[in-house]
Structure 1
Amino acid sequence: MYKFLQIFKRDFLNLLINPMWIFYSTVFPFLLAAIFGFLSSGNYGKEITSYDYYGISIIIYMALNTSTLAANSFMEEKIKKGNMRIIYSPLPKSNIYISKILATALFSCICHFLVIALLNLTLNVNFGGENIIYILLILGVFEGFVSILGVLFCIIFKSENTANQVLSIVINIFGILGGLFFRLDGFGERMEKLSYISPVKWLITNIFKVIYDRDFSYYMPTLYILILLSIIALLLCRIFYKEEDYIC
């Protein structure tokens, strides 16, 4: 366990000392929520303001983008030498990808939770008040799922660039179907039903239900589905992972 913690510490510090990743995970989502909220301020009601809607949706969108961060932290060029040392050491080879997943999920959670606090303090975005712990919990589980997904894509495609290209397409499709940028309600019942193939739709629907309706009826099923998908993705990582493919 001690050796694994050392690997995890190194992976987490690699993320922490990268100024671009810090900017992308903190300043960028705050500015995006503030700009979208300001531009659409007349299009929403009093109970749910444009800042509320985009504050929540942008956080979910950035959480979804954690998958690309996980891919970068797994196969970025400067990381490969460290991976090689681990592979040739008497340690479980799964330590490489499990450490990257946990480090990325923790880093993203810390950054995004700080943005949530900042949005609440400066733009008065409603994140549930006393129920915020439920929002943070489901977001944390979602961050873990997409971190595993990012590493899984790297393992399957054996290339950071290819993995990121495919992930970008998947992220944007899920984001659009989930209604992160604009609501799909006005496009008809068929489009509304189609949107539920996106896990983002489940997430944003549940978060708004918890915050504004105090409705937890779909909260636990969504949480369990995300955990189940995470376990399946982690098992797929183990099945397809061949350490020699990721050090060349």
Structure 2
Amino acid sequence: MANTTTQRPTSKALPSTLAIGLARTKLEVREFFREREALIFTFFFPIIFLGIFSAVFGNTDFNGVNAATYFTPGMIASGIFLSSFQSLSISIALERDEGLLKRLRGTPMPPQAYFIGKIGQVLITSIAQIALLLAISGLLLGVDLPTEPGKWANFVWIFILGTASGSVLGIAFSVVPKSGKAASAVITPIVLLLQFMSGVYFVYSSLPAWMRNVAAIFPLKWLAQGMRSVFLPDGFELTEPAKSWQLGTGAIVLSIWLVVGLFLAQRVFRWTRRDAG
């Protein structure tokens, strides 16, 4: 009598959270570049403003550098903050209002994969934005980019801390608007106010002392100051109110905001609208 064996069906292993998160990142990047408003008010906004400032202040001497050189660090910092905090807080609020988050939560997708996708989108779009801004600055606006490895090393950690803290704060702040339609109206004025107070559009040392003190509480000021340390000549350190770039203090403040943002995002994030209970 012939022996017969029964083969059990083999179950296919599910993709890992990281793999799903990377797939979400590709989707998020495609969706970002399809949105005209996101492209104009997030991706191209700092580049457009750098061109405007260079044209308006083209004949102004900023302690030995031209206007484009002086405003480039602030526009880079602003771009990171727009791509992380503003972009995520508005887009997540819209997705929650439209019921997308509720539907995603009902799928087998791990929640962590959604956040990996969002943060991955911020990293990719921020890198692309900065690369384009630096190319325009160097090729068209006469900005001399730094050549010292140490300055680029500082750029890397400032960029990482800035995007990380801005991203988690954006995720947490996305619960503040009462609806997706109100998100832009609630978040954009806050970002604009921080830009004016943090030395993005003005010479930081010329701002009133009380305004500088308030700005020092928030991450954008330290992000902008850190970028000035990278892209401005070393002598500009003495033009800062503290006569120093304060990179150590900046790293501490950005790290604190990163921890605060992580804590708040875990505690307050919602997958459904408030009226959903």
Same-fold status (TM-score > 0.5)? yes
The code of the aligned residue for 1:83 comes to L
8 A Cα contact 2:74 2:201, kept in partner: yes
Question: Post-superposition, which runs of at least 4 consecutive aligned residues in structure 1 deviate over 6 A?
Answer: 214-217
| Structure of greater Rg | 2
Q: Could you tell me which residue of structure 2 aligns to residue 235 of structure 1?
A: 263
In 2, Cα distance between equivalents of 1:191 and 1:6? 43
In 1, Cα distance between equivalents of 2:114 and 2:234? 42
In 2, Cα distance between equivalents of 1:171 and 1:222? 19
Q: Could you tell me which residue of structure 1 aligns to residue 61 of structure 2?
A: 44
Q: Runs of 5+ in structure 2 lacking a partner? A: 1-16, 238-243
In 2, Cα distance between equivalents of 1:57 and 1:159? 31
TM-align CA RMSD: 3.1
In 1, Cα distance between equivalents of 2:274 and 2:24? 17
- Deviation track 1:65-101 (CA, whole Å, cap 9, x = no partner) reads 2222113332335994653442112333343344323
Give the C-alpha shift of residue 233 in structure 1: 0.7
The code of the aligned residue for 1:153 comes to F
Give the C-alpha shift of residue 50 in structure 1: 0.9
Q: Could you tell me which residue of structure 2 aligns to residue 212 of structure 1?
A: 233
8 A Cα contact 1:113 1:136, kept in partner: no
Q: Does 1:59 align with 2:79?
A: no
Identity over aligned pairs, percent: 18
Q: Could you tell me which residue of structure 1 aligns to residue 152 of structure 2?
A: 132
In 1, Cα distance between equivalents of 2:160 and 2:136? 18
Task: Name the TM-score, length of structure 1 as normaliser.
Answer: 0.81
Note the 1:163-174 alignment, pairs <5 A.
163-174=183-194
In 1, Cα distance between equivalents of 2:181 and 2:250? 31
The code of the aligned residue for 2:23 comes to Q
Q: Which has the higher helix share?
A: 1
Q: Could you tell me which residue of structure 2 aligns to residue 183 of structure 1?
A: 203
The code of the aligned residue for 2:180 comes to E
Equivalent residues, number: 248
Q: Does 1:17 align with 2:53?
A: no
Q: 2:93 aligns with which of 72, 75, 86?
A: 75
Give the C-alpha shift of residue 217 in structure 1: 6.4
Task: Name the TM-score, length of structure 2 as normaliser.
Answer: 0.74
Q: 1:141 aligns with which of 161, 171, 193?
A: 161
8 A Cα contact 1:22 1:111, kept in partner: no
